[in-house]
């Protein structure tokens, strides 16, 4: 497969280096150092400081959300998002098995159970049709609440994940969730800068959660955000993630179980500087995606692109190879040459702690698991 060697040379030309090329590394080209120094000099390096407020405001402006709340990481954002819509012990959450483990972990942290349903081939995200088929077979409405007939448990939420920044089919998902009275929570961890019919991901469901880990499109080192267009949910998110402490000049009174999930001001300073660069980062990644698309088209390889009515951030770009054998060869030769590539995640139900949870046939997820490979996607 000579195209693999051509790809290695092509990628080195794109990044203008003969050194190791990582999958996705951060770029610090703006005010990062200045803001960090200002934060250190202010002594407000922990969970209180002006950059926390500024970052939340920047997230609200960029995504169009009514309320954004900065938190310590994306997993925490999802955990709290699920609690905000009422997920509690003994409930179930419909989600996808083709995802990063944080999606499933956030469900377990609420003492609920995941139900793994299939993805669509075009988006690689949770399929509205798979959700509909599952609910038609196992769903039951009792007093306005959806239950799983096979387990007797309440289906308390549906949480699709926008895989690699490609939005799922949200219109159809919203229709199915409304029909069955199931709250929609968006795992938007990978999709800052992605839009569905002009609306930012994370803002179409009741609540959305983002990640700003070191390998994301923009980073705060470690960090995340909860967004919602429902003011009361946003206010509650802030309250729960700041230990559920009642405001007071000096007393410490907490009236419910909260979390110390506050984003430190140091991380928020980094996030603010990165937000200022986000538009330029997205332009560069889109140009790189177009360049990759032409290259792989000439090689007869399927480079995954955004679907109609969406604008993807192309966080991690990927190719769909012919089969598992070709995937393994591609991974072996590229990594041996110092060009980092990686396979898509192992399906959740193949991990020891998630083997016993309910799932459907997963035909599309298994097809993609054997074929999808991420390629270098850093801003150049």
pLDDT confidence tier of residue 75, bands split at 50, 70 and 90: very high
Confidence of residue 1 (pLDDT cuts 50, 70, 90): confident
119-141 pLDDT tens trace: 999 999 999 999 999 999 999 99
Query: Where along the chain do its domains lie?
Result: 32-275
Distance of CA 9 to the CA centre of its chain: 31
Identify whether the C-beta of residue 21 lies closer than 8 Å to the C-beta of residue 15: yes
Residue 160 pLDDT > 80, yes or no? Answer: yes
pLDDT digits (tens, 9 = 90+) for 348-375: 999 999 999 999 999 999 999 999 999 9
Average pLDDT, rounded, for the chain: 98
Angle, helices 324-336 vs 3-15, to 10°: value is 40
- The stretch 332-336 carries a mean pLDDT of 98
Task: Give pLDDT tens digits for 198-239.
Answer: 999 999 999 999 999 999 999 999 999 999 999 999 999 999
CATH tag for 32-275 (out of 3.40.640.10, 3.40.630.10, 3.40.630.30, 3.20.20.450): 3.40.640.10
Sheet holding 185-187, edge to edge: 67-71, 224-228, 207-211, 185-187
pLDDT at 253: 94
The two tokens of residue 193 are 């800068």
pLDDT digits (tens, 9 = 90+) for 295-304: 999 999 999 9
Q: Does residue 48 surpass a pLDDT of 90?
A: no
Q: Who's near 210: CB < 8 A, 6+ residues apart?
A: 59, 74, 77, 188, 189, 191, 192, 202, 224, 225, 226, 227
For residues 45 and 37, the answer to whether their CB atoms sit within 8 Å is no
Tens of pLDDT, residue by residue over 136-150, are 999 999 999 999 999
pLDDT value at 292 more than 90 = yes
Residues 83-128: pLDDT tens digits? Answer: 999 999 999 999 999 999 999 999 999 999 999 999 999 999 999 9
Degrees to nearest 5, angle at CA 252 with 257 and 53:
80
For the record, the structure tokens of 19 come out as 């050194």
């Amino acid at each position: 497969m000579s195209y693999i060697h051509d790809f290695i040379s092509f990628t080195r030309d794109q990044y203008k280096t003969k050194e190791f090329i990582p999958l996705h590394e951060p770029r610090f080209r703006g005010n990062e150092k200045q803001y960090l120094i200002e934060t250190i000099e202010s002594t407000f390096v922990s969970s209180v400081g002006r950059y926390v407020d500024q970052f939340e405001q920047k997230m609200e402006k960029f995504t169009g959300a009514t309320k954004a709340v900065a938190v310590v990481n994306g997993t925490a954002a999802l955990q709290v998002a699920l609690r905000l819509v009422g997920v509690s012990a003994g409930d179930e959450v419909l989600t996808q098995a083709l995802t990063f483990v944080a999606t499933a972990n956030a469900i377990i942290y609420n003492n609920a159970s995941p139900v793994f349903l299939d993805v669509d081939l075009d988006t690689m995200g949770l399929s509205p049709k798979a959700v509909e088929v599952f609910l038609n077979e196992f769903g039951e409405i009792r007093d306005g609440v959806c239950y799983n007939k096979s387990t007797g448990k309440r289906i308390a939420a549906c949480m699709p994940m926008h895989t690699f920044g490609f939005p799922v089919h949200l219109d159809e998902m919203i229709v199915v969730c409304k029909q069955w009275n199931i709250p929609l929570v968006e795992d938007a961890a990978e999709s800052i800068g992605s839009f569905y019919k002009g609306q930012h991901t994370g803002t179409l469901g009741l609540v959305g959660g983002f990640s700003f880990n070191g390998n994301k499109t923009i980073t705060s080192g470690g960090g995340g955000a909860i967004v919602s267009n429902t003011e009361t949910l946003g206010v509650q998110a802030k309250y729960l993630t700041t230990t559920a402490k009642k405001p007071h000049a000096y007393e410490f009174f907490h009236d419910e179980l909260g979390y110390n999930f506050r984003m430190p001001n140091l991380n928020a300073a980094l996030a603010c500087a990165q937000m200022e660069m986000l538009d330029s980062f997205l332009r560069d990644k889109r140009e790189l995606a177009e360049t990759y698309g032409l290259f792989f088209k000439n090689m007869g390889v399927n480079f995954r692109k955004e679907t109609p009515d969406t604008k993807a951030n192309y966080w991690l770009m990927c190719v769909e190879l012919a089969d598992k054998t070709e995937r393994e060869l591609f991974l072996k030769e590229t990594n041996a040459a110092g060009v980092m590539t990686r396979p898509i995640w192992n399906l959740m139900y193949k991990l020891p702690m998630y083997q016993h949870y309910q799932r459907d046939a997963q035909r599309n997820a298994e097809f993609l698991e054997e074929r999808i490979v991420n390629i270098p996607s850093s801003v150049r």
